[in-house]
């Protein structure tokens, strides 16, 4: 079989990580703060990194908690705010691990449709008017996983108004925001809310530094953050000070702007190549061309017997890995799949799509 081409995993390829920069950041960290880096630290996170995050987002430090990756932040937040039976809103489709985390906690998950400009606020409003009372609405505003779409400014404001009116928390899950490669950045709901305390915001250094550091963070109302700090203390005392200190030296170092630009340039090339290849080899597919991030969500015409499980199996026999659309939904998605272009070099993208088109044809036959 030809080389495997994986569109499955939302992770960067090693060639776009600035390993030399990270190595230098590690040396700097051990040299400049030996006591801080080697000690336990506390659950709030490595203090200089927490301060850097607070300054980046213009919030007081006690609004910030640094965690062992942002999925750990999600888990702490769900443990603290979601009880069995609680209604929670998510996008349709949404990140499979979020869906799993909510289902495991017994949440009553309500999926609200995702459009090219983000979650369908009208559908959400109708559901709220119909009596839905969510504790939390989970939204991935930028380059959504798996949808690839970005929430418009108008909808960000509309969501905040709904959160105020119906008294729920918006969980703004935003790991991809800093890998925007085209278009204009939009203000975060965290900023747009003013003093409303309606938003809990999560992000990560996995996409801007590398996943292997496992450093993410949560920003929210200080009372909630304090409760989660207690939970984190009782779970693991603290996230890795060594990893956090390396991240801190890296993102405050001279090389970071160029390193981040390299990531964005590579992602843009991969995304552009993927869109073009899909239009050429799989013209019946529809998708949102993302402005950043890792993912592209492909829908095939409904009612034509497409079955993503069969397509994934046929693709696998051709050395191409994809994730079935059904993984991101409670029901439906058979005519869809997710392509992660983050780890597929541009020169492999077209070959991958060519084989994928064969797989789609074979799965129909």
Q: Indicate whether 94 belongs to the interface with a second copy (CB under 8 A).
A: no
Query: Is the sign of the CA dihedral 340, 344, 349, 352 positive or negative?
Result: negative
Residue whose CB is less far from a second copy, 69 or 118? 69
Per-residue contact string for residues 188-207; x = within reach of a second copy by CB under 8 A: ------------------x-
Residue whose CB is less far from a second copy, 246 or 339? 246
CA distances from 48 to 19, 59, 98, 171 (A): 22, 15, 29, 25
Count of Cβ atoms closer than 10 Å to residue 252 Cβ: 13
3-state secondary structure of 306: coil
CA atoms lying within 13 Å on the CB side of residue 84? 2
Minimum distance of a second copy from residue 311's CB (angstroms):
25
Using CB under 8 A, pick the residue from 49, 224, 243, 259 that binds a second copy.
Answer: 243
Residue whose CB is less far from a second copy, 75 or 312? 75
Using CB under 8 A, pick the residue from 63, 135, 214, 264 that binds a second copy.
Answer: 214
Structure tokens at 151: 């929430």
Distance (Å, whole) CA 262 – CA 30: 26
Q: Which of 360, 230, 204, 342 minimizes the C-alpha distance to 285? A: 360
Q: Which of residues 42-71 bind a second copy (CB under 8 A)?
A: 67-69, 71
Instruction: Confirm if 215 and 186 have CB atoms less than 8 A apart.
Output: no
Q: Indicate whether 19 belongs to the interface with a second copy (CB under 8 A).
A: yes
Of the listed pieces 9-17, 172-180, 182-190, 218-226, which binds a second copy according to CB under 8 A? 9-17
Edge-first strand listing for the sheet containing 323-324: 295-299, 336-340, 323-324
Q: Indicate whether 37 belongs to the interface with a second copy (CB under 8 A).
A: yes
Of the listed pieces 149-157, 211-219, 255-263, 304-312, which binds a second copy according to CB under 8 A? 211-219
Distance (Å, whole) CA 244 – CA 163: 33
CA 68, 96, 147, 336: dihedral to nearest 10 degrees? 150
CA distances from 176 to 12, 149, 181 (A): 12, 12, 11
Residue whose CB is less far from a second copy, 14 or 196? 14
Distance (Å, whole) CA 333 – CA 223: 39
Structure tokens at 66: 């640094």
Using CB under 8 A, pick the residue from 83, 100, 302, 309 that binds a second copy.
Answer: 100
Q: Indicate whether 313 belongs to the interface with a second copy (CB under 8 A).
A: no
Using CB under 8 A, pick the residue from 4, 55, 104, 187 that binds a second copy.
Answer: 104
Of the listed pieces 31-39, 148-156, 284-292, 319-327, which binds a second copy according to CB under 8 A? 31-39
Burial 102-114 (b: 16+ CB within 10 A, else e): beebebebbbbeb
Minimum distance of a second copy from residue 338's CB (angstroms):
17
Distance (Å, whole) CA 17 – CA 271: 18
Tell me, by CB under 8 A, how many residues bind a second copy: 49
Of the listed pieces 22-30, 53-61, 121-129, 219-227, which binds a second copy according to CB under 8 A? 22-30
Q: Indicate whether 212 belongs to the interface with a second copy (CB under 8 A).
A: yes
Q: Indicate whether 41 belongs to the interface with a second copy (CB under 8 A).
A: yes
**DSSP 8-state secondary structure symbol assigned to residue 197:** -
Residue whose CB is less far from a second copy, 200 or 311? 200
Q: Indicate whether 256 belongs to the interface with a second copy (CB under 8 A).
A: no
Q: Indicate whether 257 belongs to the interface with a second copy (CB under 8 A).
A: no
Specify burial of residue 241 (Cβ count, 10 A radius: 0-12, 13-18, 19+): buried
Beta bridge partners, 64, equal 219
Which residues of the shown chain bind a second copy in the complex (CB under 8 A)? 9, 11, 14, 17, 19-20, 22-23, 26-27, 30-31, 34-41, 67-69, 71-72, 75, 97, 100-101, 104, 206, 210-215, 234-243, 245-246
């Amino acid at each position: 079989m030809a080389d495997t081409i994986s569109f499955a995993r939302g992770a960067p390829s090693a060639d776009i990580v600035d390993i030399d920069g990270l190595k230098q950041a590690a040396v700097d960290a051990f040299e400049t703060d030996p006591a801080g880096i080697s000690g336990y630290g506390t659950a709030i996170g490595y203090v200089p990194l927490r301060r850097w995050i607070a300054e980046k987002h213009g919030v007081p430090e006690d609004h910030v908690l640094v965690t062992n990756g942002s999925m750990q932040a999600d888990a702490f937040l769900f443990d603290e705010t979601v009880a069995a039976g609680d209604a929670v809103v998510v996008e349709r489709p949404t990140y499979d691990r979020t869906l799993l985390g909510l289902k495991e906690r017994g949440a009553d998950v309500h999926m609200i449709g995702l459009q090219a400009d983000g979650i369908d606020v009208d559908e959400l409003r109708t559901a709220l008017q119909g009596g839905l009372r969510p504790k939390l609405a989970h939204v991935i505003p930028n380059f959504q996983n798996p949808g690839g779409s970005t929430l418009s400014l108008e909808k960000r404001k509309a969501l905040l108004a709904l959160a105020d009116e119906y008294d729920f928390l918006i969980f703004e899950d935003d790991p991809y925001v800093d890998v925007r490669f085209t278009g204009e950045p939009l203000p975060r709901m965290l900023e747009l809310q003013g003093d409303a305390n309606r938003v809990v915001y999560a992000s990560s250094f996995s996409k801007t530094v590398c996943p292997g550091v496992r450093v993410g963070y949560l920003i929210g109302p200080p009372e909630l953050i304090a409760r989660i700090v207690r939970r984190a203390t009782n779970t693991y005392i603290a996230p890795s000070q060594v990893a956090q200190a390396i991240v801190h030296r890296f993102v405050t170092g001279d090389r970071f702007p160029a390193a981040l630009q390299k990531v964005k340039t590579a992602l843009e090339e991969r995304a552009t190549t993927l869109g073009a290849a899909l239009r050429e080899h799989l013209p019946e597919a529809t998708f949102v061309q993302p402005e950043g991030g890792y993912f592209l969500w492909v829908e095939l015409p409904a009612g034509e017997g497409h079955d993503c499980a069969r397509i994934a199996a046929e693709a696998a026999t051709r050395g191409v890995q994809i994730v079935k659309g059904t993984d991101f939904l409670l029901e439906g998605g058979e005519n869809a799949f997710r392509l992660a272009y983050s780890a597929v070099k541009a020169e492999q993208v077209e070959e991958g799509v060519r084989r994928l088109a064969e797989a789609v044809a074979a799965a129909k036959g």
